Amino acid sequence: MTIRQAVVWGTQYLTDHQVADALSSARLLLMEVAGLDATSLITRGDDVLTIEQQTKYENFITLRSQHQPVAYILGHQPFGNLDLIVTPDTLIPRTETEQLVQLVLAYIDQHVESIATVIDVATGSGAIILALASAKPQLHYIATDISPAALTVAKQNATRLGLNVEFKETDLLAGITSADVVVANLPYVPSARLARLATDVRDYEPHLALDGGPDGLDLYRKLFEQLAAWPKLPQAIFCEIDETHTASFPDLVQSVWPTAQVTISQDLAGLTRYAQIIL
């Protein structure tokens, strides 16, 4: 089987199994198997796969046909300029969250003299905190998660990337009482919507990292209660939120901090996705 034939076969097989991104999945899986980049996949289309490569590719395609996410099949996922280990114990880092990182970095650039410590709450694979540490290594970074398995993955990523982050196994910010900037991409999907998520997400990604309660804001309520008890509030809080939270999230924030400045912004698809809170 040539590389070109493998792409055609894999795409058709996945299409037959109702995989929405059949072509891109087939290409990504083949690139991994053959050790090629996207350009070489085209220019070397007549190259013949070895028996071992073909067998591995067919196994990968079978897994993807069952709607297992590509990132879990490969065991890693790009995030900005980083390549991160991911497992079913962690959410798969998404492009939308890269934009959250950029919002945080822009704030740090504007207030660099007053910022020493940044905390990432419920870090998962470590995507946010590691992207920040890669861009601004002079700061002190702390990442928390309630899942020991997720923290293991995040620590592996930090070690692979040579980045210095302090990891804590705790419930949101329990036991932590200070930071200059807090970043949180907490579970925010309203519970009733979980059943309607794409099969790849619903059946494979950890529900602990998805389910935000009836209105998707349960974990944010808990986070804000913890922050309100701090002896000194952070300068800023950055959150990723659900598209349905345009009004309810600012209302929640101002029920805790009436004078807080809340800025809601959209992702590249035009959906409500980010909140910046200045305290």
Percentage above 90 pLDDT, the chain = 91
- Find the distance separating the first CA and the last CA of the chain, reported in whole Å: 60
What Rg value do the Cα atoms of the chain yield, rounded?
21
| Confidence at residue 181, expressed as pLDDT on a 0 to 100 scale | 98
Our CA dihedral for 51, 49, 60, 210, rounded to 10 degrees, sits at 150
Query: Phi then psi for 168, rounded to 5 degrees?
Result: -135, 130
pTM for this model (two decimals) = 0.93
- Cβ–Cβ under 8 Å, residues 19 and 11: no
Q: Is 54 helix (H, G, I), strand (E, B) or coil?
A: helix
CB under 8 Å to 129, separation ≥6 — which residues?
A: 118, 120, 123, 141, 142, 143, 154, 165, 183
Q: What is the mean pLDDT of residues 148-164?
A: 97
Longest dimension (CA), the chain: 65
Predicted confidence at residue 108, as pLDDT, reads 97
Cβ proximity of 123 and 100 under 8 Å: no
Looking at residue 85, what is its pLDDT? 97
Q: What is the pLDDT of residues 169-214, one digit of tens each?
A: 999 999 999 999 999 999 999 998 988 888 889 888 888 889 899 9
**Is residue 155 scored above 90 in pLDDT?**
yes
Which pLDDT value is given to residue 18?
95
